[in-house]
Structure 1
């Protein structure tokens, strides 16, 4: 008995698209270990196999020779591709016996399924204003969902409108907010040889592309005028063609009190305009953007009297451009998903020593890459809490002259290492705390150095690293302690933390290292000396020379 199509699935099942004003999407890239010295990251981005859409709507794989993230002032959007795959198995067989295979026109032809029987249904929605005002009629999206068949290769726009049940719609009748587009691409036979991309790309599999919107903001007619928040910089302007929203729909004029169901509550235009005596302080300007979440449902309908139908879904999250696309965040979507897995504790326990070591080193490399983006001195003055009288050092760190000594990170902070006295900054080192933090994180991003650090200071990481969602009195959303990761906010506006699974895995690694005999025969001094030698090599390489014995 031969296998039949038992199910279909979309690969990947989840992707992030990013807004961009350029008409040229971002080419694919991957992170690789840094082949050359770099001052602020252990990894770099390198081109990967990318797909060019040809005039006939088929795709042509190619390897970029360089990466461009923008075209002039316009940022290139991230527009992910998705493939549709089949799960093949004999009739009545167990699902565990099914095998994955690309869904192709040839496979449909084998089972006499017309191309038109494969379709996509796209439901793209933006619920930001609806959530902040607690009014579901302020959402906007594709009503009804957009349907595209596999025999239609046109780039189909996703035009958002207000719900049909809205008596006073935010988007007036006859107008819309584009949320991007969807395109079912033309599949061509996979060549048998002669192409360098054959092992990486299959051009015959059914594939579609989601292209996000351009990154525009929309508002009522009066929002085309400048609005000055406390910093003095104008809020994102609503240009004349996009100032058509209905000011009486319920979003314009929403107050901070109404929006307090969302954390952080002040994440909308109009919050905190800086005038404490202004009766309109913290009133929403009624502005929305063209981000969205889109659910794409692929459906395959079998011909015949039975009319059997199988389907699968994928989600696309449309976000703003990445602030630093060549740096890896220490808390990723994969970490968030792992944190919600029912068997994550068992998987952590079953992880081999080598796997755990690689994971820990990767985590500290990511932390260093994140830190290299921040001006710690600035954010310390903005968000470091004042230390309570009972939570200070008996004596300040000798020789430390940093400003605000009674604030977190100051000379009286018990979490500070007393071996490092910092200055208040000078012309040669205007950001002393930032420089110190980068130096220490660069050192700890080396696994052997981290081993040595934990063995010399067994409790230090547990003191420094914040437990997941832990709040240390008297911390608030805008006043945080030195506990790592410091000075950044989570999506709930409270201090940012590792996920629970990350924290537990790291601390189990620390416990294992503490119980392991010291293996470095020379100890800390050898590691510090090695890191100093590496830093010297980097400096000399930047000067176009080399250390003795090296090549210029």
Structure 2
């Protein structure tokens, strides 16, 4: 038998079968400083004097520096670990988060094994190509106005194409696509600046196995965080009400503020985005919530015609190797600065993707307790940022409007409902959900607005933070979960059910019940209780706000927020084990099994 012939690329070490960008998706954050934010990671601080806290810890950071000693020409990268992380520069400007994207190749070895290799100038040369043949296409778009007016001419789009060895900054200057007779929101003579992208010259020296500074990298630096509008966007009134509340239009009932700087009043006055109102007709509204544009809360809800410089970005790399065109894509999303970087979100994009793509999390006595503890700590960290008094007032007022209550201040309008949806929420009448809060706030009655005083300005916020701070301690949380599993089941808001778990006729038949006792130890019968059910997004009851965790918080879809289905199922399974299995209880409490 003779060996199969191999081509030159395979003899050189393998065949290139694909490209990919790492990470495939990244979050950028706007900032006016020319200095990008240093890299950092989260670490847990369990100092007994400070309590459990998340800390920001500096991490190795890629720093751009000019190749030329005079500071001109292309930039290259070096690695350093800063002594500390500063989120603003010396002039008080917010530093942007500017992510890098590394280009990698999938190489198939003669043995058939596929492995990743960094794409460098030397790698491309070995495979008969070069940096001058590697092309990037970057498309950045802000479609916030288009999503509401449904007009492509109200989008702002930038598209640039450049070679990997073109190390200049490539500005993302967006304009509105339009045909003859259409009025573009963003004119070609006054583009919307959405930031810039850049590649870097290979750094000299021996490549580091940890960070290849000769690898092809693209960096996206987002915009400054500015707002832009038409010439009319000069001054406006700020509503003194909570988000979601509306009042009839009157003159100067709120603080007068400047909407945009004069140099940013570059958008068209003739676009329908200026004066748009989400309540103008009965057509289905998308995106949700629709009242999230400037002007929506000032009656009659007309848009002031503003957009910002956040955007979504699509990056594509393409190169021909051995007669085959190879491509890779990645995405970036530019959002606002993180105003609390040392507080972790309870619900991240990672959680969302895992909820959609991964199977249920396995129950494991070695890993599940740590996962549940981390989930609760993240919930508590998120709750510590919320003005619960304001959120409660806003949510309960909205409940009254949705349910058609004659008087939203009437503590009895929701009598018979559980949990309570009106002023009795979080009060003693809200049993079994309200437990500690009524005792900790004896001066509060069944009212929408809190009864604040000099020593207790935010009573509900203060109580929740005090209770949550204790629960962030692992022994305290483990003891609570073991001792009162039904209390936890009641307190955590269930997620929406899957489509197969929802009834064909909403309201006539309830959604599927949450499985309780499925993971009980053998021989242990679940305690009798009423069925706990998943929520149905089509019913009024399941889209109303209440005190269940996370209390009164709104999802981006405009409905009450919950943990993900994957998180919730793991929590329910863990409670089953703690309720019925002495070995799990003993491990949670740090006791011998016979004492659990």
Mapped to 1, the partners of 2:183 and 2:423 lie a distance apart of 54
Correspondence list, 1:112-511, <5 A: 112-142=128-158, 145-165=159-179, 167-189=182-204, 191=206, 198=208, 200-231=210-241, 232-234=254-256, 237-257=259-279, 260-273=285-298, 275=299, 281-302=300-321, 306=323, 308-341=324-357, 343-345=358-360, 348-349=361-362, 351-384=363-396, 388-391=414-417, 406-414=423-431, 415-417=433-435, 421-422=439-440, 423-424=442-443, 427-469=454-496, 470=535, 480-511=545-576
Residue 257 of structure 1 aligns to a residue in which SS? coil
Q: Distance in 1 between matches of 2:256 and 2:62?
A: 38
What displacement does 1:392 show? 6.7
Preserved contact between residue 468 and residue 503 of structure 1 (Cα < 8 Å): yes
Deviation of 1:128 after TM superposition, in Å, equals: 0.5
Give deviations 1:227-257, integer Å, cap 9, x for gaps: 4434524566211111121121221111122
Once the two structures are TM-superposed, the CA of residue 476 in structure 1 deviates from its matched residue by: 8.4
Q: How many residues align?
A: 492
- Give the Cα–Cα distance (whole angstroms) in 1 for the partners of residues 583 and 462 of structure 2: 30
1:451-484 superposed Cα distances (whole Å, 9 cap, x missing partner): 321222121111111111437986587x621111
Unaligned ranges ≥5, structure 2? 1-10, 68-74, 242-253, 400-410, 444-451, 497-534, 592-596
Give the gaps of 5 or more residues in structure 1. 193-197, 276-280, 397-403, 527-552
1:74 equivalent to 2:93? Answer yes
TM-score by length of 2: 0.77
Deviation at 1:69, TM superposition (A): 0.4
Matches of 1:389 and 1:14 in 2, distance apart?
47
Contact 1:405 1:411 in 2 (8 A): no
Q: 1:178 is paired with a residue of what secondary structure?
A: strand
Q: Distance in 1 between matches of 2:437 and 2:28?
A: 46
Structure 1 residue 262: Cα displacement: 2.4
Structure 1 position 62 matched with structure 2 position 80: yes
Q: Per the alignment, do residues 76 and 234 of structure 1 end up closer, same or farther by CA in structure 2, a change over 3 Å counting?
A: farther
Shift of 1:518: 7.7
Q: For 2:103 and 2:144, how far apart are their aligned partners in 1?
A: 30
In 2: Cα distance, 1:191 partner to 1:445 partner: 46
Query: Quick check: 2:16–2:321 contact (8 Å CA) kept in 1?
Result: no
2: CA distance, partners of 1:504 / 1:28: 34
Q: Matches of 1:405 and 1:268 in 2, distance apart?
A: 28
Q: Does structure 2 retain, via aligned residues, the 8 Å contact 1:40–1:372? A: no
Q: Is the 8 A contact 2:24 2:330 kept in 1?
A: yes
CA distance in 1, matches of 2:585, 2:240: 54
The DSSP-based 3-state class of the residue aligned with 2:236 is coil
After superposition, the Cα gap between the structure-2 partners of 1:270 and 1:475, relative to the gap in structure 1 and judged at 3 Å, is: farther
2:62 aligned residue: 51
**Alpha-carbon distance, 1:323 to partner:** 1.9
Partner Cα separation in structure 1 for residue 325 and residue 486 of structure 2: 58
Contact 2:39 2:61 (C-alpha < 8 Å) held by counterparts: yes
CA RMSD of aligned residues (A): 2.8
Structure 2: distance between partners of 1:38 and 1:216? 41
